[in-house]
């Protein structure tokens, strides 16, 4: 049987999983592809580090040239992370005619178009199924199974770390700091969890999902991003008492044929399926004009789930090599798209305030709401501390422009402080 040689760049959690899975499922993979897939060379940063994966027969080096200059290597799996160095290496590898598989969403979200262009020029495949929602096969599903439909909305939980933290806060009354520590110990969080908790990791994934679902290229600056840092356990409990779970959602939708993409904490009704997604799991809800609402659920991070997505790419490239069809883009759908206007993006909102507990305060809040033509749905007051009350309001639908103005005006009021303002997902 002919051999397809694979190089692996980076031997952390995902890299080890890829090596392990290729060995464990060797026979099934050969019978599907008609080729024997062999990991020939692994490039690592630290040659001394002890690895808990069997590397028998694999060359381990710290020299990228061992991949670039080896004519026998057909496919390189980049799982080293970082943006600048990974980009530089991938460019060299594409120019050397290697097909690339990467799990690097930061890189694809920021430089995906130019890398796809370079892959085209060199008749190489560039696949990145593992970059979004770890083990959920969402990108290839959008390309293949939604090809004939018109996607209207893609929304979901695309960051495992934050979903784990919010689950633990909600179910175990854990503090944010303790829940984050636990996520790091379990290996879901990135080594530096800033991007996870500030919503940037989810935003990168939404950039890629938006490109696949709507064919529209957007940048990080085009996304309204809020993280979960500073989220208050009391708001999680309050939302729960109203029948909602707070989830960090990415929402990309077409409004009057313009695109709106946002990442932030959202109150999700308990009856909505995304509400039931717990711990490090992810779920992506794709709404097509023809098919309606579909949901894809699974582990969003971790060694073997992510490695499985990488393996699906390896098999796709191998089939292209056999059929001599390499060099086609992962996603061909591309069109011009304008950003939705702030006054056409409308949601109900949850607003939580710390208010000095004395007469006349509610009137000040009501005046702001009235001036800006915004309507309350309900108002709840509870104790914050000895001198302050917590006032929680939910509103009827209002535009992004209205909510921004309301928050600004309320924040300007003396003795009133905005703790949080979150979208509410209508059922
Ligand atoms: N840190 C990411 C998450 C996993 O928590 O979802 C890799 O994308």
Q: How confident is the model over 298-315, as pLDDT tens digits?
A: 999 888 999 999 999 999
Query: Which pLDDT value is given to residue 301?
Result: 84
Query: Which pLDDT value is given to residue 235?
Result: 96
Work out the number of other CB atoms within 10 angstroms of the CB of residue 273: 12
Atom 4 of ligand 1, residue of closest alpha carbon = 301
What's the Cα-to-Cα distance from 340 to each of 93, 204, 261, 336, 401, rounded to whole Å?
38, 19, 9, 13, 12
pLDDT tens digit string along 17-46? Answer: 999 999 999 999 999 999 999 999 999 999
Q: Which domains does the chain carry? A: 3-134+303-323 (3.40.50.720), 138-299 (3.30.360.10), 346-424 (3.30.70.1150)
Pocket test for ligand 1, best of 102, 139, 160 (most atoms within 8 A of CB): 160
pLDDT tens digit string along 178-212? Answer: 999 998 888 777 778 999 999 999 999 999 999 99
Instruction: Look at residue 286 and tell me whether its pLDDT is greater than 70.
Output: yes
- Give percent of the chain with pLDDT exceeding 70: 100
Instruction: Look at residue 319 and tell me whether its pLDDT is greater than 80.
Output: yes
Q: What value, to the nearest 5°, has the Cα angle with vertex 155 and ends 149 and 159?
A: 130
* Mean pLDDT, all residues of the chain: 96
Query: Which pLDDT value is given to residue 218?
Result: 97
Beta strand 126-127 with 3-9 is unpaired
Give the position, in ligand 1's atom list, of the atom nearest the Cα of 205: 8
Cα(18)–Cα(311) distance, integer angstroms? 7
Phi and psi for 54 in degrees, rounded to 5? -75, 115
pLDDT tens digit string along 381-426? Answer: 999 999 999 999 999 999 999 999 999 999 999 999 999 999 999 8
Cα(165)–Cα(180) distance, integer angstroms? 6
Cα(384)–Cα(420) distance, integer angstroms? 14
CA of 196 to the centre of ligand 1 (A): 7
C-beta of residue 67 within 8 angstroms of C-beta of residue 98:
yes
Q: Is 394 annotated as a binding residue?
A: no
Query: Which pLDDT value is given to residue 186?
Result: 84
Nearest to 395 by CA among 407, 386, 385: 407
CA of 193 to the centre of ligand 1 (A): 9
Average the pLDDT over 334-346 and give the result.
94
Strands (E), 327-375: 346-347, 349-356
pLDDT band at 158 (very low <50, low <70, confident <90, very high): very high
CA of 189 to the centre of ligand 1 (A): 6
Instruction: Look at residue 291 and tell me whether its pLDDT is greater than 90.
Output: yes
Helix, strand or coil for residue 403? Answer: helix
Q: Residue 238: which residues within 8 A CB-CB, separation 6 or more? A: 352, 380, 382, 390, 392
**Encoded tokens for 383:** 């104790």
Cα(98)–Cα(119) distance, integer angstroms? 9
What's the Cα-to-Cα distance from 16 to each of 54, 302, 307, rounded to whole Å?
9, 11, 8
Query: Which pLDDT value is given to residue 187?
Result: 77
Largest CA distance in the chain: 83
Q: Is 190 annotated as a binding residue?
A: yes
Cα(85)–Cα(62) distance, integer angstroms? 14
More confident residue, 356 or 186: 356
Q: Is 92 annotated as a binding residue?
A: no
C-beta of residue 105 within 8 angstroms of C-beta of residue 205:
yes
Nearest to 330 by CA among 161, 178, 139: 139
Query: Residues with beta carbon inside 6 Å of ligand 1?
Result: 134, 159-161, 188-190, 196, 201, 300-301
CA of 130 to the centre of ligand 1 (A): 10
CA of 230 to the centre of ligand 1 (A): 20
Give the position, in ligand 1's atom list, of the atom nearest the Cα of 162: 5
Query: Which pLDDT value is given to residue 395?
Result: 97
- Give percent of the chain with pLDDT exceeding 90: 94
pLDDT tens digit string along 207-239? Answer: 999 999 999 999 999 999 999 998 999 999 999
Active-site amino acid positions? 205
Give the position, in ligand 1's atom list, of the atom nearest the Cα of 300: 6
pLDDT band at 104 (very low <50, low <70, confident <90, very high): very high
Q: Is 199 annotated as a binding residue?
A: no
Query: Which pLDDT value is given to residue 427?
Result: 61
Query: Which pLDDT value is given to residue 7?
Result: 98
Query: Which pLDDT value is given to residue 255?
Result: 96
Q: Is 14 annotated as a binding residue?
A: yes
Give the position, in ligand 1's atom list, of the atom nearest the Cα of 188: 5
Phi and psi for 138 in degrees, rounded to 5? -90, -35
Query: Which pLDDT value is given to residue 248?
Result: 98
**Encoded tokens for 183:** 């996520």
């Amino acid at each position: 049987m002919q051999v397809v040689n694979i190089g692996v760049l980076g031997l952390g959690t995902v890299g080890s999983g890829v090596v392990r899975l290729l060995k464990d499922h060797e026979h099934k993979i050969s019978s599907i592809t008609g080729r024997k897939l062999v990991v020939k060379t692994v490039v690592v940063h630290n040659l001394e580090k002890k690895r808990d994966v069997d590397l028998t027969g694999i060359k381990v080096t710290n020299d990228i040239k061992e991949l670039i200059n080896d004519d026998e290597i057909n496919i390189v799996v980049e799982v080293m992370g970082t943006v600048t160095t990974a980009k530089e290496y991938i460019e060299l590898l594409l120019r050397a005619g290697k097909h690339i598989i990467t799990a690097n969403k930061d890189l694809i979200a920021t430089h995906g178009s130019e890398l796809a262009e370079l892959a085209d020029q060199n008749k190489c495949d560039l696949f990145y199924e593992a970059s979004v929602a770890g083990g959920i096969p969402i990108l290839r599903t959008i390309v293949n199974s939604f090809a004939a439909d018109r996607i209207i909305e893609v929304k979901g939980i695309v960051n495992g770390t934050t979903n784990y933290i919010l689950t633990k806060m909600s179910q175990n009354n854990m503090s944010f700091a303790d829940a984050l520590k636990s996520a790091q110990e379990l290996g879901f969080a990135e080594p530096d969890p800033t991007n996870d908790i500030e919503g940037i990791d989810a935003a990168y994934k939404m950039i890629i999902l938006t490109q696949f679902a709507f064919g529209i290229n957007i940048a990080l600056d085009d996304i309204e991003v809020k993280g979960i840092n500073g989220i208050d356990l009391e708001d999680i409990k309050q939302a729960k008492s109203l029948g909602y779970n707070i989830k960090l959602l990415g929402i990309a939708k077409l409004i009057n044929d313009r695109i709106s993409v946002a990442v932030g904490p959202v109150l999700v009704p308990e009856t909505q399926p995304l509400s039931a997604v717990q711990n490090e799991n992810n779920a992506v809800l794709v709404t097509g004009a023809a098919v309606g609402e579909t949901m894809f659920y699974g582990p969003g991070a971790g060694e073997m789930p992510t490695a499985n997505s990488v393996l699906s790419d390896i098999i796709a490239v191998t089939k292209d090599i056999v059929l001599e069809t390499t060099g086609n883009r992962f996603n061909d759908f591309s069109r011009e798209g304008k950003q939705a206007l702030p006054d056409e993006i409308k949601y109900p909102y949850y607003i939580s305030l710390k208010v000095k507990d004395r007469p006349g305060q509610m009137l000040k809040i009501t005046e702001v709401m009235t001036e800006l033509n915004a309507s309350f749905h309900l108002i709840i007051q509870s104790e914050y501390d000895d001198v302050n009350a917590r006032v929680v309001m939910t509103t009827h639908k209002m535009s992004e422009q209205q909510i921004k103005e309301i928050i600004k005006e309320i924040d300007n009021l003396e003795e009133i402080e905005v703790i949080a303002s979150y979208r509410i997902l209508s059922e």
